[in-house]
Amino acid sequence: MAKVMNVGTDYLKKASGKNLGNMVQKKAYELYVKRGKRPGHELDDWLEAERLIRQKASF
């Protein structure tokens, strides 16, 4: 019997705990750079990064 893998579940397992924080931090920085490194939107970048990481995990 073939093993069926859930991509979202596997991704979420990798994105647990400390690793999740690192992934969000990296994505938030990418968003900051994409915006032209303008300060004042740190919270927006962080929340958007969390949303994107969680969205990717729910495939």
pLDDT at 46 over 70: yes
As a whole number of angstroms, the distance between CA 14 and CA 52 comes to: 15
Query: pLDDT confidence of 3, banded at 50, 70, 90?
Result: very low
pLDDT of residue 23: 92
Cβ contacts of residue 48 below 8 Å, gap of 6+? 28, 31
Per residue in 11-42, pLDDT (tens digit) is: 555 556 678 889 999 999 999 999 999 999 99
Q: With contact defined as beta carbons under 8 Å apart, do 32 and 45 qualify?
A: yes
